[in-house]
Amino acid sequence: MPHRPFMLGIAGDSGAGKTTLSSGVARLLGVERTTNICVDDYHKYDRKQRKELGITPLNPACNYMDIMEQHVRLLSEGEPILKPVYNHTTGTFDPPVYVPAPRAVEEGGRLIPRVVILEGLLTLFSPEMRGRYHLTVYLDPEEELRREWKVKRDVAKRGYTPEEVLADIERRMPDSRAFIWPQKAHADIIVRFYRPPGYDPENPSTLNVRITLKHTLPRLDLSEVLHSAYEDEALIRLEARKEADILDITGNVRPEQAQTFERIIWEHLGHHAEHFDPSLVGTFWDKAGQSYPLALTQLIIAYYLVKMRELAIERGHLRVA
């Protein structure tokens, strides 16, 4: 019998920080113990064809949604897939790659379900895919910040000029509104990084983050985890609201506070985090620096994931033998 994995879906607009978040969560759990898939590989047209057709990659019609849905289903059932590969450097397609069956992994002397992380523009778009995830996250940074991140990344890594990136963001705006942003309504966790007053783009690790924890999540008593960690409620604050719990973390949280908080969540992850190198949490590539709000966000998501996986095993929803 195939082993059913734990499925994490991460969506958001281009440059919203999906890869940064998902690679951090994968490092937390052990990269070789997770299967990471970017669903932007399912683009139907290459860059030249998209230009000719006047279609943006955000439009579901520009993607093989049927194959994406089938692959999400196969992975959730513990089956292997042959995944297409879109190459951001050439703007065309590379040969497909074989993704092995997401088999269970050994941890603390027992077999537990592997985590499959699916991230991309349209991960939460269709009900078929949404029904396959155990946990869903939407990245919703302040729009100005997303633009700043996308321009920096596309210029440094994808060979565009800043003017080209900004013009492309404008061209995509109707599709962002129509297809990407509405996916927020389907996420259990919404992560919003935003700039503090006087924010210096040269020091992006000072960003604030608001994490919305919807009541679609199991009610884990996070306040107990948080309580012992924060002395100053203005820096890390959890507020229970009718529609969701809101966790606010400010970018000027002191390293000692953030590290205490990290350690406490860490202890709650127990042996699940034994493969992890803590110096890698919260890193983002272009600054080679660490952001505590990003580190704490990755840890909170890993915390929910580990706890929800435990619940799913207990309830017999995820059997590994």
Ligand X SMILES: O=C(CO)[C@H](O)[C@H](O)COP(=O)(O)O
Binding site for ligand X (CB under 6 A): 14, 40, 47, 57, 88, 91, 121, 158
Looking at 54-62, 253-261, 279-287, 307-315, which segment touches ligand ATP (CB under 6 A)? 279-287
Question: What's the min distance (Å) between Cβ of 11 and ligand X?
Answer: 12
Q: If binding is defined by CB under 6 A, does position 17 make contact with ligand ATP?
A: yes
Amino acid at 208: N
Q: Is 57 in the site for ligand ATP (CB under 6 A)?
A: no
Q: Which does 153 bind (CB under 5 to 8 A by kind): ligand ATP, ligand X, none?
A: ligand ATP
SS3 content of the chain, % helix, strand, coil (to 5): 45, 25, 35
Q: Is 14 among the residues that bind ligand ATP (CB under 6 A)? A: yes
Residue with tokens 């155990």: 134
Which of 9, 12, 24, 251 contacts ligand ATP by CB under 6 A?
A: 12
Question: Which of ligand ATP, ligand X, none binds 149 (CB below 5-8 Å, type-dependent)?
Answer: ligand ATP
Task: Spell out, one character per residue from 124 to 153, where the chain touches ligand ATP: x when CB under 6 A holds, - when not.
Answer: -------------------------x--xx
Return the residues of window 166-195 that contact ligand ATP according to CB under 6 A: 193
Minimum CB separation of residue 117 from ligand ATP in Å reads 12
Please state, in angstroms and rounded to a whole number, the distance separating the CA atoms of residues 184 and 181.
Answer: 6
Eight-class DSSP state of 63 = B
Give me the residue whose beta carbon is nearest to ligand X: 14
Q: DSSP characters for 175-231?
A: HIIIIIGGGGGG-SEEEEEEPPTT--TT-GGG-EEEEEEETTS----HHHHHHTT-S
Tokens in use for 70? Answer: 């089938």
| Near ligand ATP by CB under 6 A: residue from 138, 199, 261, 284 | 284
Least distance in angstroms from the C-beta of 35 to ligand ATP: 17
Q: Walk across the sheet containing 115-120 and list its strands.
A: 34-38, 115-120, 6-12, 135-139, 189-194, 208-214, 244-249, 236-240
Distances from the Cα of 313 to the Cα of 84, 134, 309, angstroms: 31, 12, 6
**C-beta atoms surrounding 263 within 10 Å:** 13
Q: Does 63 bind ligand ATP (CB under 6 A)?
A: no
Site size for ligand ATP (CB under 6 A): 20
List interacting residues with ligand ATP (CB under 6 A): 12, 14-20, 121, 149, 152-153, 193, 204, 207, 284-286, 291, 294
